[in-house]
Structure 1
Amino acid sequence: MAVHAAERLGNRGGAAIGEAGDDIARDRPGVPTGLFDDGGTMTGIVNLLEDVSDRAVAYEAAQRLAAIIETSADAILTKDLDSIITSWNGGTQRLFGYAAEEIIGKSVSMLVLPDRPDEEPNILTRIGAGERIEHYETTRRRKDGTLVDISLSVSPIADHSGRIMGASTIARDISERRRAEEQQHLLIREMDHRVKNLFSLASSIVSLSRRSATSMDDLASAVMSRLNALSQAHALTVPHTSTASTRLQQGTTLHRLMRSILSPYDECDGKLGSRVTIEGPDIDVASGAGNGFALLFHEFATNAAKYGALSVPGGGMDIRCEDQGATFVLTWRERGGPRIARAPDGDGFGSLLARSTVRGQLGGEIEREWKPEGLFIRLVVATDRFAG
């Protein structure tokens, strides 16, 4: 509120002084200003006193909010309705790799993948209509070209009149969650696959045992023996964090691992160890790597028992190990099984799982060749992967 000294001085200074005081007080709030008459004599002082408490509180709140945003672990940015970035906090720099000075003033579309041209316009259309967007999952490109899975929450920004002038975006990295979900889905599929295989394996074991059994007691004993061997092989695939698998905790050798898994099928006419030969150098397998190798050999043996050399009485296989220094090579050659006219169409889940295990966990390569006399597999693994 302006308090005019001219009003307290009566007629001294007159209307001209009052008018000048209004102009001065309005132009220089909070600064005392002299008033002069036509002769240059100071006749009074004009001062404007303004209550700025609310302004100071608002400024302090704004500073606090800016500090919170800047130090937030979340990526927070703002943009106008033309997708031009107007602010960029430290979390956004850590997520996408761009410093604020590199990207403020540029279009947010530089983060959007080329195959999603309509994504950003659709978001802005919804924001322009006053809509909030919660937990929108998408993929963005970082400065270094790598992709990152994110969840977006986008809110409209309005001016004092309520007109929407831009958007505030919070982005969270959900890459770890996505990987965990994919791993969970793979494990569920693997569990379903293994359960189905168990029924097939049980049937195969009963069928194999029946051929050499001379009595019901003999059959029961053979089936129980093979199921027990299969159970022991299964124990080697239990994750090493489980207290139920002390053998895997202690590690094993490659030959012992293969014999344990193949033992339910390695019998012909009552003679154990007559269908499978394992030659070449043995190698220690640490607990961390045992799960991957056990999973592979279990898959190979399952397929051989269902469709290959181990599905008929006279079939067998030869396994050869070669230590080549930096790499360890294993060849799996089936013989005497059903004649193979051609390779199967497409890859089953077992094949996909085998490739995923070899390349992902073991860092190796696997080749399959469907020869008429039986399946041939060549597995190459870096020697240091056996240490887990």
Structure 2
Amino acid sequence: MQDNEMPSSASMDTFDMANVSLKQVLDALPEAVYTVDQDGRITYFNDAAAVFWGVRPELRKSEFCGSWRLYWPDGRPMPHDECPMALALRQQVPNRGHEAIAERPDGSRVPFQAFPTPILNHSGKLLGAINMLVDLTDSIAINQAAQRYQAIIQSSDDAIVSKDLNGIITSWNPAAEQMFGYKAEEAIGQPILLIIPADHHSEETEIIGRIRRGERTENFETIRRRKDGSLVEVSLTTSPVRDRRGIIVGASKIARDITDRRRAEQQQHMLIREMDHRIKNLFALANSIVSLSSRFAETPGELAISVGRRMNALSRAHSLTTPSSSTASGRKEQLTTLHDLIWTIISPYVDPREEPALRCKVTGADITVNGPAVTSMALLLHEFATNAAKYGALSVPEGRIDIDCMIEGDEFVLQWVEAGGPPVVPTEKTGFGTLLEKATVSTQLDGRVTRSWDPEGIVIKLTANKERLSAADSE
């Protein structure tokens, strides 16, 4: 027998291959195939085996396997006489499907499965064996990739679902369980319409049509229904799933819950509208203050001082209502009370070296001030304090102000009593404060202001609707 030839038909009993020899068949196979005699010496190998081993072994001298070195699947060295072929010869039974690793002379390693089968004659005598080596490199890489993808799918925060072309659910990850409320065993095998509201069923028809055409959809925002009937806003990405032949057999869907994003967007829009509203109000208010102040200022310098003081008063007042923090889930203004507002407006007129209570005393009921009432009350109190500093009790060191707050039914009453100041001179002159009172007290606060000029000092009585003071800005 010549090198690299199969044993004759007589030595291997009879092979009926018609007009094609067995060697020609084995030479044409893409998988590594070789034969050994009863002692394990290699008697034939095809070209695929030589490529697999990276070497062409010497016939009738190399034993059991043509690999340069062999290893067990865990990386331990495997002696050639313990390889699957050697075991098949010793036991004289097929030893198929065992895995091992072959090392080539260049150092590269190839994981493989061996399928050695003993060859016996009619009397049962061992003649040798034939073996096929299947390279597992690609399948291992595919399996590893599949395992990685499966791990990603299982740990993803997004719901990942697959379905066939009939819309039947074929896979359902833990995030889908959490998002939609159905366990995997409840969802798999059910139509995907299980989670699609009735008024959105047409979307599924469109999506399946696009999948059949090989198209992918990304960031498609829609509504899905949970097991408890509640709705969830999602962003969908849908991709075709193909088999090994490249034929589309289904679709995978990634659903991301966008409820928080929607809430944040709505909150952002609300804050933008609120900012727009407040800025417009601020400009309108500033325009009004400048316009009214200009009527009573005799010089540009006096106008600048007057406007500046009023704007500073508003700034100090509104600093009381600035929230200490803001979140997208809910923003609430910090509430202020009338007592805090009074002290904020009065404090610039009190000498910091003095005890504030010696100059001003605030007593009685307190009440929350909110929304547009803050602006109105801050401007009114600023005018009271400014006049007191110019002409009344705060214009002399001995003067003092007693502010008493009372609740009378649906009304809140603030009584401003000055004493110890210069002699009181009643006046009917219309000033900024008078115009302000007409513009805000009756319309915004549903109240009124009265004055009396007692010998000891002016007495101002401000009456306002209690609910108007605490009402939030609804515009």
TM-score range, shorter chain: 0.5 to 0.7
Q: Which residue of 1 aligns with 2:134?
A: 51
Query: Which runs of no fewer than 5 residues in structure 1 stay unpaired?
Result: 243-247, 282-300, 321-329, 335-348, 353-388
Counterpart CA distance in 1 for 2:197 and 2:318 is 44
Structure with higher RCO (Cα < 8 A, 6+ apart): 1
Query: Any idea what SS the aligned residue of 1:49 has?
Result: strand
Counterpart CA distance in 1 for 2:244 and 2:187 is 27
Q: Call closer, same or farther: CA 1:90–1:333 in 2, change over 3 Å.
A: closer
Counterpart CA distance in 1 for 2:186 and 2:146 is 25
- Aligned residues: percent identity? 41
Counterpart CA distance in 2 for 1:69 and 1:250 is 45
Counterpart CA distance in 2 for 1:174 and 1:250 is 30
Quote the offset at 1:65 in angstroms: 2.4
1:143 corresponds to 2:227 = yes
Quote the offset at 1:225 in angstroms: 3.4
Quote the offset at 1:107 in angstroms: 1.8
Q: Which residue of 1 aligns with 2:156?
A: 72
Contact 2:320–2:334 under 8 Å retained in 1: no
Question: Which of 238, 241, 254 matches 2:322?
Answer: 238
Q: How does 1:347-366 map to 2 (within 5 A)?
A: 351=474
Contact 1:317–1:332 under 8 Å retained in 2: no
Quote the offset at 1:253 in angstroms: 3.5
- Equivalent position amino acid for 2:134 in 1: D
Q: Which residue of 2 aligns with 1:318?
A: 464
Query: Which runs of no fewer than 5 residues in structure 2 stay unpaired?
Result: 26-92, 98-113, 327-331, 342-368, 389-402, 409-435, 451-461
Pairs aligned (count): 289
Q: Call closer, same or farther: CA 1:36–1:317 in 2, change over 3 Å.
A: farther
Q: Which residue of 1 aligns with 2:31?
A: none
Q: Call closer, same or farther: CA 1:55–1:206 in 2, change over 3 Å.
A: closer
1:114 corresponds to 2:229 = no
Quote the offset at 1:11 in angstroms: 5.2
Q: How does 1:9-24 map to 2 (within 5 A)?
A: 10=10, 13-15=13-15
1:30 corresponds to 2:115 = yes
Q: Call closer, same or farther: CA 1:202–1:277 in 2, change over 3 Å.
A: farther
Query: Any idea what SS the aligned residue of 2:237 has?
Result: strand
1:171 corresponds to 2:255 = yes
Contact 2:241–2:251 under 8 Å retained in 1: yes
Quote the offset at 1:314 in angstroms: 6.9
Question: Which of 179, 185, 200 matches 2:284?
Answer: 200
Give RMSD over aligned pairs: 4.6
Counterpart CA distance in 1 for 2:277 and 2:292 is 22
Q: Call closer, same or farther: CA 1:136–1:278 in 2, change over 3 Å.
A: farther
Counterpart CA distance in 1 for 2:248 and 2:142 is 21
Query: Any idea what SS the aligned residue of 1:115 has?
Result: helix
Q: Call closer, same or farther: CA 1:250–1:135 in 2, change over 3 Å.
A: closer
- Equivalent position amino acid for 2:13 in 1: G
- Bigger CA radius of gyration: 2
Q: Call closer, same or farther: CA 1:134–1:277 in 2, change over 3 Å.
A: farther
Q: Which residue of 2 aligns with 1:384?
A: none
1:261-297 deviation line (CA, Å, top 9, x unaligned): 31214559x978xxx996449xxxxxxxxxxxxxxxx
Counterpart CA distance in 2 for 1:317 and 1:45 is 116
- Equivalent position amino acid for 2:14 in 1: G
Quote the offset at 1:155 in angstroms: 1.2
Counterpart CA distance in 1 for 2:317 and 2:212 is 62
Contact 1:74–1:171 under 8 Å retained in 2: yes
Counterpart CA distance in 1 for 2:200 and 2:223 is 10
Quote the offset at 1:103 in angstroms: 0.6
Query: Any idea what SS the aligned residue of 1:116 has?
Result: helix
Counterpart CA distance in 1 for 2:158 and 2:209 is 24
Quote the offset at 1:121 in angstroms: 1.6
Q: Call closer, same or farther: CA 1:260–1:73 in 2, change over 3 Å.
A: closer
1:357-376 deviation line (CA, Å, top 9, x unaligned): xxxxxxxxxxxxxxxxxxxx
Quote the offset at 1:260 in angstroms: 5.4
Q: How does 1:1-388 map to 2 (within 5 A)?
A: 7-8=7-8, 10=10, 13-15=13-15, 30=115, 32-37=117-122, 41-42=124-125, 44=127, 47-53=130-136, 54-206=138-290, 209=293, 213=296, 215=298, 222-241=306-325, 253=337, 255-257=339-341, 258=369, 261=375, 262-265=377-380, 279-280=406-407, 305=440, 308-309=443-444, 318-320=464-466, 330=467, 332=469, 351=474
Counterpart CA distance in 2 for 1:305 and 1:210 is 19
Quote the offset at 1:104 in angstroms: 0.9
1:25-76 deviation line (CA, Å, top 9, x unaligned): 9x99825255453xx5446455441314233332233223222321223322
Contact 2:220–2:235 under 8 Å retained in 1: yes
Contact 2:169–2:192 under 8 Å retained in 1: yes
Contact 2:323–2:334 under 8 Å retained in 1: no
Q: Call closer, same or farther: CA 1:237–1:118 in 2, change over 3 Å.
A: farther
232-241 or 122-131, which deviates more: 232-241
Counterpart CA distance in 2 for 1:149 and 1:70 is 22
Quote the offset at 1:208 in angstroms: 5.2
Counterpart CA distance in 1 for 2:8 and 2:172 is 55
Quote the offset at 1:214 in angstroms: 7.5
Q: Call closer, same or farther: CA 1:218–1:59 in 2, change over 3 Å.
A: closer
Q: Which residue of 2 aligns with 1:245?
A: none
Contact 1:201–1:306 under 8 Å retained in 2: no
- Equivalent position amino acid for 2:10 in 1: G
TM-score (norm 1): 0.59
